[in-house]
Amino acid sequence: MSKNMKSILFKNKFLVVTLIIIMLTSTACEDELTEINENPNEITNLDYGIQLTNILLSTTEGGYEMFRASLGYCFASIQQLADLESPVSGVFLPGDKYLNDPLFAASLFDEVYTREHKNLADFLHRTKDDEEAVNYHAMGRIWRVMSAHRITDIYGDVPYFNSGKGYIDNNWFPAYDAQEEIYADMLNELEGAVLQLDPNKKNPGTNDIIYNGDLDKWKKLAYSLMLRLGMRLTKVDNGAAEVWVKKAISGGVMTSNDDIAKIIHEIGASRNPFFNGFETRDQVRLSATFVDWMINMNDPRLDMISYVESGGPHKGLPNGYDYETIQDYPGGNDLTTYSNYNPELRKWESPSFRQTYAEVELLLAEAAVYSWHGGDAAEHYEKGVRAAINQFGLFGVELPSDSAIDDYLNNNPFDPAKGLEMIGEQYWAATILVSWEGYSNWRRTGFPVLTPTNYPGNVTNGQILRRLTYSGTEYSLNAENVNAANNRQGPDDFMTRVWWDKE
Amino acid sequence: MKKTLTILLFFALFSHVWAQERKLSGKVTDENGEGLPGVNVLLKGTKIGSVTDIEGNYQIVVSGESNTIVFSFIGYQTGEVEIGSFSVLNHVMKEDVTSLSEVVVTALGIEREKEALGFSVTELEGKGFTQARETNVANGLAGKVAGVNVSNIASGPAGSSRVIIRGNTSLTQNNQPLYIVDGVPIDNSNLGAAGQWGGRDQGDGIGSINPDDIETMTVLKGNTAAALYGFRASNGVILITTKSGKSKKGLNLEINSNYVFDKAINRLDIQKEYGHGSKGQKPKTLEEALGAGDIAWGGKLDGSSVIQFDGVERPYAYAGDNFDKFYQTGHTFTNTIALSGGSEDMGFRFSASKLDNEGIIPGNKYKRNNFSLNANGKVGKKLTFNASGSYIVQETKNPPAQGDLVSNVNYTVWSLAPSINVEDLKGDPNRLGANPDGTELLPATTIWFENPYYSAYQKKNESERNRVLGSFSLQYDFTEWLYVKGRIGVDHWDRRNMDLRPYGSAQSPLGYINQSQTKHNEINNDIMLGSQQEFSSGFGYNVLIGASSMRQNRYSNSTNGRDFAIADFPHYSNTTNRTGGTSLWELGTNSVYGLTEVSYKSYLYLTATGRQDWFSTLNGKGIFYPSASMSAVISEMVKMPTSFTYLKLRTAWAQVGGATNPYALNQTYSLGQPHYGVAQGGVAQSVVANAQLKPLTATEFEIGFDARFLDNRVGIDFAVYSRKTEDDILDASISTTSGYNAAKVNVGKVTNKGVELLFTATPILKSKFSWDISLNMSHNKSEVVSLLDPEVADERLFVDQNRAQTANVEHIEGLPYGQVTGWIYLRDAAGNIVHNDAGLPMRDEEAGLVPFGAGVHPFFGGITNSFNFGPINMSFLIDYKSGAVIFSGTNSWLYRRGIHKNTLVGREEGIGVLPGSEMSTYYNEIRNKIAEQFIYDADFAKLRELTIGYNLPKSILDKLKIASARFSIVGRNLLLLHSNVENIDPESTYNEGNAQGMDYFQTPQSRSYGFNLNLKF
């Protein structure tokens, strides 16, 4: 260093020191930088109850998959709904004509994991080891079964054990689990969760938007779900079905419409998915199969479910027609003369059902037929039908009088010779409000007996489809695992049967 | 002051008089006829010299020693003139286009000798942006700088720019350069863009700048040039230096007025033979007319009377050009007044500017007011300061909606059947586009075929942005070779936006009003200590160390109200459903940096720089960014042939980074809308957070030369570079069964290799006439080397999808950046399109989405020719781009609607088994399934700029008491010289994002022409 420079630095000691201090301070504030990176818009630790509300709420189907997979495929293929659209005009209900619309078919798969399983996995992970949070954890386990059984019922083998764990375990490409293993685990989970419920531990209260913290009702829900899932096994493993159905009954299932697991929707906030699904698709009508079934038995539900815009008589739209071919059908292509799904049942704020009491009674009737319990099949059948009719009261529509319901039951008495068929048909009608369940039960029982359509270009060779197809993106992102599932289960098409749907 | 100087000069000259024989005097002016002060006037080969005074006048006493006089001044070409027997010799200094000045402002505002730079830097004068101007000054770079690819986004005057230097570095993040104004980084974030599902381009940050305030714009192309900006350097840097009063003495007033008309360029060539209707039939009822209101699959136009959407029967005939009827002549009027002045120690400049624009789409307006103040000076002998500040107000009304159909006027206007006159959609004259009851007048049954007048006049999207840019720096020179400098800079803006859908609109019958407000702040502090010396041994050094800090925050709140209770009262209080929210993000960086340059004899320079950045976004983690460069002026080292005026070789290497977003490291929870008053919320992220995240790294090597021949009459500047980007931050798609759509990861490798050539020549240089050529050509070859998993070949990364949903932009391994991919026809062995049993063309499902080419042009450049004929000069710029493709969603939709000319085929005779009445099915199938048909080569050449200027002669100026006056006729986008795209402009770019090569009913490009008047007093 030159003398000159030294003297300069010396003369300006103050400046140089200041400079050095500034430099040092600006490099030594890692803590400050970390502080800046604290997100003020979000929180790092969320109250369990707040997340529980979110989990319960989000397991209402969104409008996206409700319209596509539920209405579009399930409801239409079991002939509860119909439409006249064709590949030329733009398909609305591909299930009406057994057409291939990969995005519609995969819509549930595409939505449910990100919307439901992400938070379920996180919630269960966080509450697992917290002894005070056993009720939260148990409700989470029950609700995870509620979410998961729909997916496996619709697609068969699906990611289950590792679903939603992208952050927790960094598992970005979960394996597909065999449906047999999924069912075994779901039933075990229900059993285990009920044992966890403890009135002496913290209760979520109002955050439990299903039962307001009523643990007994949660118990009934868990056993009712166990009944639903146990009964699902009748074709594939009748012995296991009997074991689980008996466990469910002895545990205590739902006993009235007060026990229904439902979401009460709120105007301006969460929407009833039927409202979402129907809102912009005015072309969808009730199927002639369904409407005729009600007409033939003089069903008191007809006036509640069916609404004809033109004011004419109730008349369903036959499945498998388009705007051209319908012209020869009485009524032609004027959609206003066909029965629509009553708008009163699909308002923004209409409740949506996850598990109903009517289903429980009808399954008990079926179990009675198998003599799995001492009850009377006819009695459970009647209770089921009555509950299925009266549950419309929750929508604010005018209910038929008790005598009208009595007349209906008297005119269509339970006939043990046709017991399973009658139960199956009533289950079909009762689950018009529970989207996936009717389709699954139809596949298991084969009731009601439906005549398939055979529209040109259908992909099932004129048969009602047995499952929906996986998401196309899985083949690019998770190919190894989805292909392993196909090797185990069968080709990824609409006619491959899921494990419990044994021929 | 002026007098003193003159007297001083006079004395300086006088001292020589006794010894010399003859006096020579004259005036030195610039090309505009303005007197140039400070020009060195030297008698060649002697030490006798002088300097021009404030008016540009000089006097010199010449002896017999030399008969040549040399005029030299920084930024101008040195001129040599024979004295002969003249006693008065005036001289016009020509600006040196190849090297504006010997000193260049580089990174962090450090002024360095041009010789010393081992990397490519291009400096442009501000006046290049003020004649045939763009409202967004960055768009004015188009075709001017080698290596700089400017996309002319079709989104109106308030729209954003897309400037890409040496190729796209990042796969999914921002690729635009960092803009620095007077040493301070400014925010250039895009404030809203059109995407696959629509939107409006709400402009960017650089669009705030008034081109009249720009002294120079310097493009630091390579990573080495930008290396001292560390984490912000990966996309290159553009430095803007605003005008100051330093070189002016006394008070100077400058007025600039620019007025241009903007005319929409109609490239539509549609079928005019068939009218509205379906199945080849004319509609017979109102229902049929409405049902077919959006398609032209009707009967042959025969002049008969046919019902239309409004129940009125009109002749079934070509109704005229709806394009020409709908678009209006836009205009832009820009006025700037600047006052500058100063003394020996101080200088200031104040300017005020007003830009008033009316777009080619009715209802689209843009206003910009800029107020700038720049002051600089010396306090005592050692302290200098520089302060600049601007206040900018921007108001935008109804920027064009595009990308999707919603509110997109182009969509309906271009898709209307030839038998429908768009003007019949005007409806209620007091409420254009509406029915008498106030509801939207729809031309068809579907609500997705909107009334363009309703969109233009009844829907409102308005924003106002107020911005303050400020910079203040102080430098203290301890000695001639040691200084300390501090600088503080601020960029603050706040903006409010309102989006109104009135009560009665078809898609939202009850309407809505969404409002938001955003505040943005960025503060940068720098302090640096520098030392520079040259020793008699020939060695020299330039050393600098510094530290800086950056803090940024952005706050926004929004209130959204839906469903008006009362019609015609578009206020939030009138809504019955309300939601809202707020958000705040903050980030900061602390840095230290240093530069060391060692030089020998002003011809060999070695430079190394380093910068260490610590990031808040990485919880304090730090990263080091180095660079090294060398410059060798060969022409100073060895004796070159006389035709070689100058030769410099340069080479550079650097490693720099890219920024990361805050809050990306950890998973968090957010709250949603409560359910009956019960709070609910869950995991906030749909992308898996990653605590190990780091910024991307770009490593670049460049080598080049600058050669000049024949006394600078010919120049070649050439650069080759190779840049590699690694560890890009990607949201890598993962199986949704994981609960997430994607995971944040550091992956990917992209290379950009390219050559840049700048060729300049002055074929004619006479005192009365000169001709200059400046040609630049660039080729950037990009390659996506690897994406997610280096082990897996042929990986693809989705970037965006066109609204038509048959074409994507994807990154594909082994191919250039941003491939336009699309579905192709199924063809038999002979190459014929295969049809299914129904007679419809089939697509090749097995081939999947086939890459057609990059959406970003690898070849581009421009040529400027300038001619000077005394007071008149003329220049024009032709630019070109080639090697990219564009998918036109517009053309695919024109197929669907039966508007495209190609859809005439088969209407009478049918195609294959399909009768003529089924042609809508046939062409719909193509639109629904095939992209191939609508992918075009996007090569183009345009006459981008034309300026013809006239400088008023001094004789007139003197009478008018004006220092200078220049009148120019200006034009922009005058001619499309080459294009292979049907119906749309080849530059119909979607937005400023990374998915280039996508079109969907973009706002047409406009041709601008008008005048510019510049007066100086």
At B895-951, the pLDDT tens digits run 999 999 999 999 999 999 999 999 999 999 999 999 999 999 999 999 999 999 999
Average pLDDT for A50-55: 96
Partner A contacted by B627 (CB < 8 A) = no
What's the pLDDT score for residue B15? 42
- For B615, nearest residue in chain A (alpha carbons): A33
Candidate from A32, A167, A207 with C-beta closest to B689: A167
CB pair distance less than 8 Å for A33 and B668: no
* C-alpha distance from B615 to closest chain A C-alpha (Å): 7
Report residue B770 as tokens: 């000169």
Give the Cα separation of B792 and B815 in Å (integer): 15
The tokens 């301890």 sit on which residue? B478
**Contact residues, chain B, for A264 at CB < 8 Å:** 676
CB pair distance less than 8 Å for B588 and A209: no
Report residue A471 as tokens: 């998401």
DSSP string, A165-220: -TTTS---SPPPBPHHHHHHHHHHHHHHHHHH--TTS---GGG-TTTTT-HHHHHH
pLDDT band for position A60 (cuts 50, 70, 90): low
What's the pLDDT score for residue A16? 57
Give the Cα separation of A272 and A263 in Å (integer): 9
Which residues contact residue A479 at a Cβ distance below 8 angstroms, ignoring those fewer than 6 apart?
Answer: none
Average pLDDT for A208-229: 98
Report residue B217 as tokens: 């714009």
Percent of chain A whose pLDDT exceeds 70: 93
CB pair distance less than 8 Å for A477 and B734: yes
Residues 26-55 of chain B with CB under 8 A from chain A are none
What's the pLDDT score for residue B10? 41
Candidate from B476, B583, B588 with C-beta closest to A41: B583
Are residues A390 and A436 in contact, defined by beta-carbon separation less than 8 angstroms? no
Partner A contacted by B586 (CB < 8 A) = yes
Among A388, A394, A437, which Cα is nearest to A262's? A394
**Contact residues, chain B, for A42 at CB < 8 Å:** 663, 668-670, 684
What's the pLDDT score for residue B1? 42
What's the pLDDT score for residue B21? 65
Dihedral angle computed from the Cα positions of residues A311, A317, A321 and A322, in that order, rounded to the nearest 10 degrees: 30
The tokens 């803007």 sit on which residue? B240
Alpha-carbon distances, residue B723 vs B231, B234, B235, B496, B782 (angstroms): 16, 10, 11, 40, 9
How many CB pairs below 8 Å do chains A and B form together? 207
What's the pLDDT score for residue B13? 42
Candidate from B590, B674, B740 with C-beta closest to A166: B740
Give the Cα separation of A294 and A292 in Å (integer): 5
The more confidently predicted of residues A369 and B51 is A369
**Contact residues, chain A, for B510 at CB < 8 Å:** none
* C-alpha distance from A43 to closest chain B C-alpha (Å): 5
CB pair distance less than 8 Å for A471 and B615: no
Residues 508-567 of chain B with CB under 8 A from chain A are 527, 529, 531, 545, 547-549, 551
CB pair distance less than 8 Å for A37 and B583: no
CB pair distance less than 8 Å for A33 and B584: no
Per domain, the residue ranges of chain B are 2-92
Partner B contacted by A264 (CB < 8 A) = yes
* C-alpha distance from B404 to closest chain A C-alpha (Å): 19
What's the pLDDT score for residue B45? 78
Per domain, the residue ranges of chain A are 46-86+99-240+457-503, 283-345
B629 pairs with which residues across the strands? Answer: B607, B652
Residues 119-148 of chain A with CB under 8 A from chain B are 119, 121-122
DSSP string, B70-116: EEE-TTB--EEEE-TT-SB--EEPPB-SS-S-SEEE-GGG-EEEGGG
**Contact residues, chain B, for A478 at CB < 8 Å:** 735, 737
DSSP string, B353-414: EEEEEE-SSTT-EEEEEEEEEEEEEEETTTEEEEEEEEEEEEEEE-PPB-SSSTT-HHHHHH
**Assigned architecture for domain B2-92:** Sandwich (2.60)
CB pair distance less than 8 Å for A45 and B669: yes
Candidate from A26, A50, A163 with C-beta closest to B681: A50
Partner B contacted by A459 (CB < 8 A) = no
HSE-CB of A295 using CA atoms within 13 angstroms: 13
| Phi, psi angles (nearest 5°) of residue A96 | -65, -35
CB pair distance less than 8 Å for B476 and A50: no
Considering A79-93, A169-183, B791-805, the range whose residues carry the highest mean pLDDT is A169-183
Partner A contacted by B383 (CB < 8 A) = no
Give the Cα separation of A261 and A254 in Å (integer): 10
**Contact residues, chain A, for B474 at CB < 8 Å:** none
CB pair distance less than 8 Å for A8 and B479: yes
Query: How does A36-60 read in b/e, with b if 16+ C-beta sit within 10 Å?
Result: bbebeebeeebebbbbbbbbbbbbb
Residues 470-509 of chain B with CB under 8 A from chain A are 476, 478-479, 482, 484
**Contact residues, chain A, for B674 at CB < 8 Å:** 269
Residues 635-664 of chain B with CB under 8 A from chain A are 662-663
Within 10 angstroms of residue B211's Cβ, the number of other Cβ atoms is 27
- Cα angle at B1008 between B1003 and B1013, to 5 degrees? 145
Q: Of all helices (H) and strands (E), which one includes residue B5?
A: helix B2-17
CB pair distance less than 8 Å for B674 and A269: yes
The more confidently predicted of residues A215 and B107 is A215
**Contact residues, chain B, for A40 at CB < 8 Å:** 584, 586
SS3 A485: helix
A430-469 per-position pLDDT tens digit: 999 787 899 999 999 999 999 999 998 899 999 999 999 9
Residues 697-756 of chain B with CB under 8 A from chain A are 733-741, 743
User: In the sheet where B91-92 sits, what is the strand order?
Assistant: B57-62, B22-29, B91-92
Candidate from A36, A44, A174 with C-beta closest to B738: A174
Partner B contacted by A86 (CB < 8 A) = no
| Phi, psi angles (nearest 5°) of residue B487 | -145, 140
Q: Given the DSSP bridges, would you call strands B859-869 and B687-688 parallel, antiparallel or unpaired?
A: unpaired
* C-alpha distance from A163 to closest chain B C-alpha (Å): 5
Are residues A316 and A337 in contact, defined by beta-carbon separation less than 8 angstroms? no
CB pair distance less than 8 Å for A264 and B689: no
Give the Cα separation of A80 and A431 in Å (integer): 10
- Cα angle at B650 between B647 and B652, to 5 degrees? 175
The more confidently predicted of residues B420 and A269 is B420
Mean pLDDT taken over chain A? 91
User: Which spans in B590-703 are helix H?
Assistant: 634-637
Q: Of all helices (H) and strands (E), which one includes residue A9?
A: helix A3-11
* C-alpha distance from A353 to closest chain B C-alpha (Å): 17
What's the pLDDT score for residue A61? 59
The CATH class for the domain spanning A46-86+99-240+457-503 reads mainly alpha
B685-735 per-position pLDDT tens digit: 999 998 888 888 999 999 999 999 988 899 999 999 999 999 998 888 899
Average pLDDT for A321-332: 85
- For A49, nearest residue in chain B (alpha carbons): B680
**Terminal-residue alpha carbon distance, chain A:** 94
What's the pLDDT score for residue B694? 86
- For B668, nearest residue in chain A (alpha carbons): A44
Prior bond of A40 cis (ω within 30°)? no
Give the Cα separation of B62 and B44 in Å (integer): 10
Dihedral angle computed from the Cα positions of residues A489, A491, A493 and A494, in that order, rounded to the nearest 10 degrees: -40
Candidate from B592, B678, B733 with C-beta closest to A477: B733
- For A121, nearest residue in chain B (alpha carbons): B739
What's the pLDDT score for residue B56? 85
Question: Average pLDDT by consecutive 10-residue portion of chain B (1017 residues)?
Answer: 43 42 82 80 82 85 79 79 81 65 78 86 88 88 91 85 92 92 91 87 92 92 88 90 74 93 95 94 92 92 96 96 96 95 86 96 96 91 91 96 92 96 96 95 91 96 96 92 93 96 93 96 94 90 93 96 93 92 93 94 92 92 93 90 90 89 90 92 93 89 94 93 93 92 91 96 90 96 90 86 92 95 96 93 92 96 94 94 96 95 95 93 92 96 95 87 91 95 90 90 93 93
ipTM: 0.92
DSSP A73: I
Are residues B1017 and B961 in contact, defined by beta-carbon separation less than 8 angstroms? yes
* C-alpha distance from B508 to closest chain A C-alpha (Å): 12
Amino acid at B280: G
Lowest-pLDDT range, A93-102, A156-165, B373-382?
Answer: B373-382
* C-alpha distance from B672 to closest chain A C-alpha (Å): 8
Partner B contacted by A32 (CB < 8 A) = yes
What's the pLDDT score for residue B7? 42
- For A172, nearest residue in chain B (alpha carbons): B738
